[in-house]
Amino acid sequence: MDVSQYLEIFIDETKEHLQNLSDELLILEKEPDNSSTINEIFRAAHSLKGMAGTMGYKRMQKLTHNMENVFSEIRNAKMKVKPALVDTLFRGLDALEGYLDNIQNTADEGTEDNEPILDSLNQILNEGLGIEAPAKKEEPVKAAPVGDNGSVAKFQELSVADFEIHAMKKAKDGGQNVFGITVYIQESCILKAARAFLVFKALEELGEVVKAFPDVQDIEDEKFDFDFSVILLSREPADKIKEEILRVSEIKSAVIGEFQIPDQPTAENKENNTAAPVHEEAPAPAAAVQAATAAKPPQPEQNATVKKGATTSKPVVNRSVRVDIEKLDVLMNLVSELIIAKNGLVSIGANETSGNTATAAFNEQIEYLERVTTNLHESVMKVRMMPIESVVNKFPRMIRDLSKKLGKKMELYMSGEDTELDRTVIDEIGDPLMHLLRNAADHGLESNEERRSLGKPEVGSVWLDAYQDGNNVVIEVRDNGKGIDTESVKNKAIEKGTITPEQAETMTKKDIIDLLFRPSFSTAEKITDVSGRGVGLDVVKTKIEKLGGDIECKTTLGEGSNFIIRLPLTLAIIQALMVELGDEKYAIPLGCIQTIEDVSMDDIKYVQTKEVINLRGTVIPLIRLDEVLDVEPRKEAPESLTVVIVSKGDKLAGLVVDNLIGQLEIVIKSIGKYINNDKIISGAAILGDGEVALIIDANALV
Amino acid sequence: MADLNTVKIEEGKQYICVKLGDEQYGIDIQYVDNIVRMQKITRVPKAQSYFKGVINLRGEIVPVMSLRLKFDLEPDAYSNATRIIIIKLEQQASVGVIVDEVREVVTLEDSCIDKPTYDGADGKSMYISGVGKHGEELISLLNIADVIIEKDNI
């Protein structure tokens, strides 16, 4: 057997443990006395060390070992948690992540020894312990009072062959111990064979496995329940062997005791058998018990974190398979094709006007097909969805670091981490969000003194909220800092020549804020100093628009800013309204359409020589799509106009079209990068009859 | 048979010889994905003038450009011989070019290709990578990547 096949599990679990460590460290920093947190940290570090060791990553093991030593001292209350300590530990975590990256890319941990981190860890350890005599590093894990639900020393029931007895006797005469071990794997474990293999590997380092039940081949083939027994010849003490076994993840417990060699009951053996075999639970329940006994005001929250930590380290049984994202893309493409084919049938069905029974049945079947394809599409989309958690869970750490670096006190509040987004969006959204958070922390929040003098709470707050809103997912990045000073932005814009003073007069606050998203603003350093915003916001905007979303900013001077990102739930297939302009057909995404109105020519008013309508009290500018798109206008002027009201955020606009065709499910295809289109066209769709219709990006028009 | 083919490739490059007005152009065959008949082109508003629009090529959207417009020739008059040559410069990014007629595939050895005289004043000379002599006829060999990818400064 070769360890490489476990590489993937190793990487996944290491990631999980690292994330866990990072989360818990953040808690620890705030509540240095939280014993359940330190236990959780210790456990994660311990399993990390064991895993790295088993996989043969010595450097990683060494670093975790050193970190673990520190954790262990903290746990034993020999050391206090100090900011410098947490900093070093975070550096250690970063280094571990570096190793993991290397392993992920090359299956090798690399050659970086991270000596400075090791040194400072040791230094902390020495300082913290002071002159105290080097205490025993690892406190023996408390035996949990919890019942051992059926963990019995099954090894005693093993039947052994003569030659095995012989070998055991011989070993015993040679001064080795003969241990019987029964290992129980957690019932939630998915890859039992892998765990068993790791146990075997650990055991083989300590001694010689003479017998296993079920036999090794069956264990490799996963032909066992949740326990297996072995007989081990070893010179090591039972405690040490047990510790090594429990170091493997997802091992529930291990029962170890002297194996009674048949027909040779010596006095020593008897004694061992009458005494209950040494039995321990994995430390998890102990941690839970401690958490429960400690009773302080922030208790419920703490309990929740512990529970969360426990569930992430012991994955609940969820029946899942890993699928290559490319395979999903293929599946998605096939679904797209199917929808195009279905649209073809729909259009044939619509042309069959003779109302005989055959067409009725035909239409019925088409409707059925339509339902199936829509459901199929939804299912495939859902498979591609991932909770946004994987992106945002690194942010608390980032805010912490920023807080240190900038010398500002701040707190990040997140909600809606379980909001799901398409995988491709998840991959891309991290950077823009990080950028916005940095902006909020760096430029948005005032310094501690400033906040105090303003009568605000000294600790600044940054919020990251994600939630679903209809067909969109909205992510808001908010802060309660100083907000954006629109006046100074305006003045700077005039100074720079971006806008003329006359233009500035007529600009609304929103228009001015939109200036910040212009590329020309991003490089202007002066603006950054004055307004505190604007670095790279255009990049953020471009990225989000590439994902089919949009971003807007609301701000109140002195109270803070709010950046709102809207992202479409689905990228490839949307519902659209088909419209006609001259002889050409265009699609308008249904998501941005508010209403459709019939406007008589008399209702058109003029504001600043632009056409507007007054629709139930709201003034809405009209956009003549035929002019924008250079379509040959119709000859006779109609008495009334068909206007599609579209919205982008709070802004509305009325698109004038010649004719409405109807609603259609369309598959968005790119029109390629070589052809310019002024951003008005966001893509193309193939209609049922094979014709191509262009999709109008209402966001670019409004 | 296979041997024959290899020998042929070693001898020189293969070009698809197309007609545009009175001139013959050669397109390096390695970029040619497909040749299709003229079909309905959907206009794309605000596109560059030489882009006629997009077509549906078996479920894929492919932008189509007119070589005639690109080279400032008379606008295309579509006939039965008009073809769209689908060029694939990179994965997932095909472009169609409209030509009057597709003549044949020719193999040109390096010795048959003259380097063009570079004329800085003529922006279009960069589209030609050489002039091939095939029997009595001259074929302007297109540098198809430059034709398709717009360079802003020129």
- Which pLDDT score, from 0 to 100, does residue A318 have? 52
Q: Is the pLDDT of residue A217 over 80?
A: no
In a mutational test of the B interface, the residue from A332, A655, A675 whose CB has the highest number of chain B CBs within 10 Å is: A675
Lowest mean pLDDT among A487-501, A620-634, B27-41, B72-86: A487-501
A174-194 confidence digits (pLDDT tens): 777 777 888 877 777 767 777
Coil vs helix vs strand at B59: coil
What is the DSSP-derived secondary structure letter of residue A669?
A: B
Structure pTM? 0.49
- Which pLDDT score, from 0 to 100, does residue A578 have? 92
Distance from CA of B106 to the nearest CA of A (A): 28
Find the mean pLDDT for residues A10-16. 81
Tell me if chain A has a CB within 8 Å of the CB of B154.
no
Tell me if chain A has a CB within 8 Å of the CB of B46.
yes
Tell me if chain A has a CB within 8 Å of the CB of B148.
yes
DSSP β-bridge partners for residue B132: B113, B139
- Residues contacting residue B1 through CB under 8 Å, at least 6 positions apart: none
Please judge whether A674 and B94 are an interchain contact, meaning their C-beta atoms are less than 8 angstroms apart.
no
Q: Looking at beta carbons, which pairs linking A451-459 to residues 24 or more positions away fall under 8 Å?
A: A454/A558, A456/A480, A458/A409, A459/A409, A459/A410, A459/A411
Tell me if chain A has a CB within 8 Å of the CB of B93.
yes
Tell me if chain B has a CB within 8 Å of the CB of A700.
no
Q: Is the pLDDT of residue A354 over 70?
A: no
Task: Say which CATH class A389-568 falls into.
Answer: alpha beta
- Which pLDDT score, from 0 to 100, does residue A644 have? 92
Lowest mean pLDDT among A122-131, A291-300, A551-560: A291-300
Tell me if chain B has a CB within 8 Å of the CB of A580.
no
In a mutational test of the A interface, the residue from B48, B55, B56, B65 whose CB has the highest number of chain A CBs within 10 Å is: B56
A417-466 confidence digits (pLDDT tens): 888 888 778 888 888 888 888 888 887 888 888 888 888 888 888 999 99
Nearest CB to B56 within list A631, A672, A692? A692
Coil vs helix vs strand at A18: helix
- Which pLDDT score, from 0 to 100, does residue A577 have? 92
Complex ipTM value? 0.81
Integer CA distances (angstroms), A14 to A26, A50, A55, A260, A331, in order:
18, 11, 12, 39, 31
Please judge whether A675 and B51 are an interchain contact, meaning their C-beta atoms are less than 8 angstroms apart.
yes
Find the mean pLDDT for residues A113-135. 67
Distance from CA of B30 to the nearest CA of A (A): 20
Q: Is the pLDDT of residue A142 over 50?
A: no
In a mutational test of the A interface, the residue from B31, B40, B41, B42 whose CB has the highest number of chain A CBs within 10 Å is: B42
Please judge whether A681 and B60 are an interchain contact, meaning their C-beta atoms are less than 8 angstroms apart.
no
- Chain B residues touching residue A672 (CB < 8 angstroms): 54, 61-63, 93-95
A46-59 confidence digits (pLDDT tens): 888 888 877 778 88
Distance from CA of A574 to the nearest CA of B (A): 17
Q: What is the 3-state secondary structure (H, E, C) of A445-492?
A: CCCHHHHHHCCCCCCEEEEEEEEEECCEEEEEEEECCCCCCHHHHHHH
Lowest mean pLDDT among A149-163, A187-201, A246-260, A548-562: A149-163
What sign does the CA torsion over A101, A102, A108, A114 have?
Answer: negative
Domain spanning A573-701: which superfamily? CheA-289, Domain 4 (2.40.50.180)
Please judge whether A676 and B148 are an interchain contact, meaning their C-beta atoms are less than 8 angstroms apart.
no
A571 contacts A425 by C-beta, under 8 angstroms: yes
**Alpha helices, DSSP H only, in chain B?**
2-11, 67-70, 144-148
Q: Using CA atoms, how far apart are residues A290 and A302, in angstroms rounded to an integer?
A: 11
Closest Cα in chain B to A694 = B44
**Structure-model confidence comparison of residues A336 and A579, the more confident one:** A579
A332-350 confidence digits (pLDDT tens): 888 888 888 888 888 777 7
**Structure-model confidence comparison of residues A696 and A532, the more confident one:** A696
Q: Looking at beta carbons, which pairs linking B113-120 to residues 24 or more positions away fall under 8 Å?
A: B113/B141
- Chain A residues touching residue B66 (CB < 8 angstroms): none
Q: Mean of the per-residue pLDDT values for chain A?
A: 75
- Chain B residues touching residue A630 (CB < 8 angstroms): 45-46
What sign does the CA torsion over A139, A144, A145, A150 have?
Answer: negative
Find the mean pLDDT for residues A617-635. 83
Q: What is the 3-state secondary structure (H, E, C) of A298-342?
A: CHHHHHHHHHHHHHHHCCCCCCCCCCCHHHHHHHHHHHHHHHHHH
Integer CA distances (angstroms), A600 to A100, A387, A639, A653, in order:
66, 47, 6, 17
**Structure-model confidence comparison of residues A635 and A556, the more confident one:** A556
In the block, residue with structure tokens 């006007």: A353
Q: At A650, phi and psi to the nearest 5?
A: -90, -10
Beta-strand pair B60-66/B93-99: parallel
Tell me if chain A has a CB within 8 Å of the CB of B81.
no
Lowest mean pLDDT among A65-69, A152-156, B136-140: A152-156
Q: Using CA atoms, how far apart are residues A424 and B132, in angstroms rounded to an integer?
A: 47
CATH 3.40.50.300, applies to A154-282: no
Residue B55, amino acid = I
- Which pLDDT score, from 0 to 100, does residue A84 have? 78
Q: Using CA atoms, how far apart are residues A92 and A143, in angstroms rounded to an integer?
A: 31
Closest by alpha carbon to A441, among A545, A563, A567, A544?
A563
What is the enclosing helix (H) or strand (E) of A27?
Answer: helix A7-30
- Which pLDDT score, from 0 to 100, does residue A295 have? 40
B65-117 confidence digits (pLDDT tens): 888 888 877 887 888 888 899 988 876 678 899 988 888 888 888 777 887 76
Q: Domains in chain B and their CATH numbers? A: 10-104+136-148 (2.40.50.180)
Closest by alpha carbon to A74, among A119, A120, A128, A23?
A128
Q: Is the pLDDT of residue A274 over 50?
A: no
Tell me if chain A has a CB within 8 Å of the CB of B62.
yes
CATH number given to A3-141+286-313: 1.20.120.160
